[in-house]
Chains A and B, each alone.
Chain A
């Protein structure tokens, strides 16, 4: 409650041109101001939006839209890039249900998402809050947090394969020094996936930290100061000031990590375990790639991707149904 008051109080100068302290964006007090010029603005906005949206959309339609439609069409064919495509209707989709490796790879993908997305989001938020401060040499220290994305996925997978090496790798050397017998991480059906997810979280943290940091930087410093003057402790500041302001970026971070872990983990898995041992890290994207280019079954690979796409897009729609975040008067 107190914090709400603070927000109102501090934000008022930002909207200096307006008389009403209309901080809550969807509150009624903002409406009259906007309604006054609404008709004129809608037309103008639509015209301007064409300029802002169309160049992007044209490129997007040609190089993303058409290929996506083509990939869907391909799922109705049997094609190996050599002979002519053969129309098979929904046969590829029927095959998925009878394919144990497909089912296994879906399970493994879900497992990796759980092991990957949650730690990435939580740790990156914690680290961003942690490093959102200044002291002598802070830029250098911050760079340490960003180092993991500097290196390509393939190169870091090679590096980590070396680190996990049971004999010459540092992890087991350290554990050995502590008297613990390390396991052969990447050759264990139980440990391979956690080992891979650690690498993936490590690789994905910097991007999420950067996005959180950018969001934290945009929080008005006066808000935090005012909260402190009102006697808010660190936890209250986190919950009442910081968290509401990083909510949109959290949605963004969840979505891009979900996407990243489902699709971009391919390189790491390919280099570190190749999907093994015993398919324990055989995630869907690895299987799709194998189907498309190792087994040259492009139609079936497309069918599997289409199904993946429908599941993920469906989940996204269920959990975050499309609604205009109340800005700019659009609902």
Chain B
């Protein structure tokens, strides 16, 4: 995409790398400190590279994160992401492109509910889930989070608004109904927003703390952030190096998903527009 003189290209690539390293700099601090000893991590002056690398931190950190909580986090994250994605793509598309009465108020309903602090709806939501007898079940853990579709509807509506109408008009003239158009034309063009939205939703769900905290009471329903939160309290009995290693390990699955999603940011744009 970049054309021009070779030196301009080199300058561009250099800028990309330098800014990227700046963005990632705090992670360097996380990584080196997660490998230090408990003494070195609090030592003065700070060291820029660990003197003695303590690999035992990995085992200590894994000890703090149970296998069951990793499995629960995976179930929770995958269910929330898939269910929410289906709901918001369809609604976002309908609001952007389907002429039906009341779609503008509907859009604004979704936008303004973005501005309701969750702290305040937490207890009413909890009471609804309790009355459904869903406490300590995957239903209770997942469904109320799936229902938080405001953000997603808004995202997809904004993306579909810039989709050229002519694409749909053409299909319509060929006799396609809305379902056909959605599946055959819209979905194949939705790679980038789906990849972006998936990445964001996976992260949000993976790091969600307060809802799993009150929606579940049993240890075998515990998710990862509940284990991590204990490390951040002032009274934590876990030294900083092990705490940072635990944070690092708990984010690894997400980094893997991210690198995987990368391909779709680039290639998701299907062939249709270019043909």
Contact = CB atoms under 8 A, between A and B. Distances in A.
B20 A141 contact: yes
B108 A322 contact: yes
Contacts of A330: 99, 103-104
B178 interface: yes
A87 interface: no
B6 interface: no
B119 interface: yes
Contact of B101 (A46, A55, A173, A256): A46
Interface string A103-119: 00000000000000000
Interface residues of A, number: 124
A150 B251 contact: yes
A147 B209 contact: no
Interface stretch (B50-58, B63-71, B74-82, B156-164): B156-164
Interface string B143-177: 11011111101110011011011110110111001
Contacts of A252: 154-155, 158
A213 B159 CA distance: 12
Contact of A153 (B103, B144, B207, B255): B207
B24 A217 contact: no
A127 interface: yes
B203 A149 contact: yes
A217 to B, nearest CB: 5
B128 interface: yes
B232 A313 contact: no
B234 to A, nearest CB: 10
Nearest to B268: A217
Contacts of A88: none
Given A162-B240, A168-B45, A249-B158, A328 B97 contact: yes
Interface in B59-117: 87-88, 90-91, 93-101, 103-108, 110-117
Chain A residues touching B, majority SS: helix
With a 10 A CB-CB cut-off, give which of A52, A62, A153, A292 has the most chain B CB atoms.
A52
A66 interface: yes
A301 B117 CA distance: 10
Interface string B210-230: 000000000000000100110
A141 B16 contact: yes
A163 B26 contact: yes
Contact of A53 (B27, B94, B147): B94
Contact of A71 (B16, B116, B207): B116
Contacts of A251: 158
With a 10 A CB-CB cut-off, give which of A68, A202, A228, A328 has the most chain B CB atoms.
A328
B42 interface: yes
A70 B124 contact: yes
Interface of A: 11, 14-18, 22-23, 25, 30, 33-34, 37, 41-42, 44-46, 48-49, 51-53, 55-57, 59-60, 62-64, 66-68, 70-71, 74, 81, 127, 130-135, 138-139, 141-160, 162-163, 167-170, 173, 202, 205, 207, 210-211, 213-215, 217-218, 220-222, 224, 228, 245, 248-249, 251-252, 255-256, 259, 262-263, 266, 271, 285, 288-289, 292-293, 298, 301-302, 305, 308-309, 312-313, 316-317, 322-325, 327-330
13 contacts: A74-B120, A139-B263, A143-B258, A148-B23, A154-B229, A155-B232, A155-B251, A159-B26, A163-B29, A210-B265, A245-B162, A249-B159, A308-B117
